A = this chain, B = another copy of it.
Amino acid sequence: MSENRPFSKSLNMLRSANLRPTRQRLALTKLLFDGGDRHVTAEDLHEDAVVNGVRVSLATIYNTLHQFTAAGLLREVMVTSEKSYFDTNIAPHHHFFIEDAQRLVDIPGDQIAIANLPKAPEGTEIRSVDVVIRLAST
């Protein structure tokens, strides 16, 4: 759409998250949120940046992913103890995890319903309900 102002969307995201629109954050925002939902690891995003000529250190990638998560722009998904995955789709939904390829795929939020959701133990409240369906190729 706005090919002439390619960073305006990213700019707005950062501003409303109260994060300074630095060169790195603008570029990463663009990589993350332009074009469909993504599930990236820090390493993924770093490579993506390098390939696209964006100079960012891995440390900044980690910082940025966590800042974005804290700001509600990203959501961290726990599926492996090896790496952290960050999901650009923050709407409530669940995941398929393709074990062979170590790849995450969204399941639309309304495609799963949980019956008999147990109530949280005394003194606690539910922060999130995460469903992961692990898949193996046949």
Contacts and interface: CB of A to CB of B under 8 A. Distances in A.
Interface string A97-116: 01100000101000111111
A79 B114 CA distance: 19
**Oligomeric state, in number of copies?**
2
A113 B115 contact: yes
B133 A128 contact: yes
A2 interface: no
B112 A114 contact: yes
Contacts of A138: 123-125
A123 B129 CA distance: 27
Nearest to A81: B84
25 contacts: A76-B81, A78-B79, A78-B132, A81-B82, A81-B83, A96-B121, A98-B124, A99-B127, A111-B116, A112-B114, A112-B116, A112-B118, A114-B114, A115-B115, A120-B135, A121-B135, A124-B136, A124-B137, A125-B135, A126-B135, A128-B133, A128-B134, A129-B133, A130-B134, A132-B132
